[in-house]
A and B are shown apart, each in its own frame.
Chain A
Amino acid sequence: MNHRGGWALVRSTWLSWMQHRSFFFVLAFGWMIPPLVYLLVWSTAAGSQAINGFTRGEFVAYYLVLILVNQLTYAQTNWTVGDVIREGKISQMLLYPMSPLYNTLSSEFAGKVVYMTFAVPVTAVLAVLLHPELHTTPGHVLAFIPALIFAWALRFFWGYWLALLAFWATRADALLAVQDTLVFLLAGQVAPTLLLPGALRGLANVLPFRYMVGFPVEVLTGQLNGSALWVGFAAQVGWLMIAVLLYKWMWRTGLRRYSAIGG
């Protein structure tokens, strides 16, 4: 492993991305809209009376946190992995004395910094305008940090192994769009998981998508306590391990196929 080269890559990627801030701000704006729509709809719906225990202010807090968590965990680099393979640019990456994972990770980190310089101020302004009510404790904040990191890693590796299907099929990235939609539906964006009807809630708890976005938001907004918290963490880490194993396996077999048939 070449960590020094990796860090140099992160820095250079970040600097070059900051050159095109406006482009990435526009992307970040686009990602922000869907949760914002549901923020406005739910907070309007809860305008007069609480819905299932959620007050208007709590909806606002929930969705503002979700906007940030969503941008922090969204693995935009998954989309480029497929392109790199299809266009044969991966050959060049394989020449570097460093795992191509670093290339992707450097874009990830650089991207997060750039998106946050847009998303944090915008969320702050929204918070001033919309008066959120955030009921959280130091314990919840403490639990939120690992939940967020695991959520990012899970979403990243899950998308990565899907993107690696590009070794076998052109346009495998359509599956990433499917994943985005599933996350939208099952990871607490359409509605907080607690409000989903029974069968759908069961599905959301079993599948990995809730643990990519919704779970850390629920942790920070204090919706989960005691055993619910621990079960959530267990599911998150379990899915993360599966995602990493899938990634490793796909990478190895994919590369073997690539070197066998050429770009």
Chain B
Amino acid sequence: MAQPIITVRQLSKTYRVPERDAGLLASIKSLARRTYNDVQAVRDINFSLEAGEIVGFIGPNGAGKTTTLKMLCGLLHPTSGEAEVAGYIPWQRSGVYLRRISMVMGNKSQMMWDIPPLDTFRVLGEIYHVPAAEFKQTLDELVELLDMGELLTRPVRNLSLGERMKCEMVAALIHRPSVLFLDEPTLGLDVSTQRRLRRFVADYNRRRGATVILTSHYMADVVELCPRVILIHQGSLLYDGALSGLVERLAPFKLIRLTLNQEQAPTIDGHLPPNVEVLERENGRLVLRAGRAETPAITSRLLDTLPVVDLVVEDPPIEAVIDQIYQEAKV
């Protein structure tokens, strides 16, 4: 087995949040003496990633995803624990390390507002010591993958949100980072732009072998991109593995969609098995929920006793499962 590129051991982060009243006097007072509240944002997280993996960080708002990402980027010191990324300890912030990583944030921009993207890219190229030939090659490649050649010379302020996100991607990748952190990169984008960005991330990962950690609240991002997900809730790691495994563990249910013969539909009530729950009912269409193990038996009983026109058995939608986790936080 190859050496993991990211190793995280017992990583914890506690914020000390000063309690403070508003006002000038209070701020002067608080300079002298402060009271603090401890907020544990991340507790004892362990995981490791192989080079080239795409992993989705999921969890509700405030779960500790961004705090974990920031520690891996070297923006935050952990309170305790260890992390090693590409052979470096992130929060030592060595220049070599910073040149090997990159971050894209869906709600923040690193583009210079009033000038064309190409000029921002050039400045970034210099900052990251990218040789001229390599700069040109990387830029051409990214521009082609994102199909954004015509955007290069227009001022950023005149670009749409989707176009701007393409620029953010180029800005983040111009120095060919080997580890890429994507913090909600598809925030606020339309469906087809989201899809296009996902395809780009997958392509890029395949071509360059870059390791990608992605956080997103759009499950489509996670489903399409991440063979592996890490679920964080209230600072703790709740699950680490394939997305399908998460669904199986968390949703021991199947959905049965029934379409019945219209004329006989009103008389079915007595014939439904006792161990199903009716989720929706509209004329002759029903959606039932049944335990995973009992589903085969229930299905055959339904087919026997009711005037079934159509019957489909499926897994519950991922959004519903995730919603259930976020609300109950049980795994």
Contacts and interface: CB of A to CB of B under 8 A. Distances in A.
A contacts B directly (C-beta below 8 A): yes
Interface of A: 19-22, 25
B24 A19 contact: no
Contacts of B24: 21-22, 25
B295 to A, nearest CB: 52
A219 B24 CA distance: 36
A119 to B, nearest CB: 15
Contacts of B80: none
Contacts of B27: 22
Nearest to A22: B24
Contacts of A25: 24
Contacts of A19: 22
A74 B113 CA distance: 31
Interface of A: prevailing SS: helix
Across the A-B interface, give the 5 residue pairs with the lowest CB-CB distance, nearest first. A22-B24, A19-B22, A21-B23, A21-B24, A25-B24
B156 to A, nearest CB: 14
Contacts of A21: 22-24
A21 B22 CA distance: 9
A21 B23 CA distance: 6
A25 B24 CA distance: 9
A21 B27 CA distance: 11
9 contacts: A19-B22, A20-B22, A21-B22, A21-B23, A21-B24, A22-B23, A22-B24, A22-B27, A25-B24
Given A21-B22, A22-B23, 7 more contacts: A19-B22, A20-B22, A21-B23, A21-B24, A22-B24, A22-B27, A25-B24
Contacts of B23: 21-22
Nearest to B22: A19
Nearest to B157: A170
Interface in B22-46: 22-24, 27
B210 to A, nearest CB: 36
| A20, A21, A22, A25: most-surrounded residue (chain B CB, <10 A) | A22
Nearest to B28: A22
A146 B212 CA distance: 68
Nearest to A118: B24
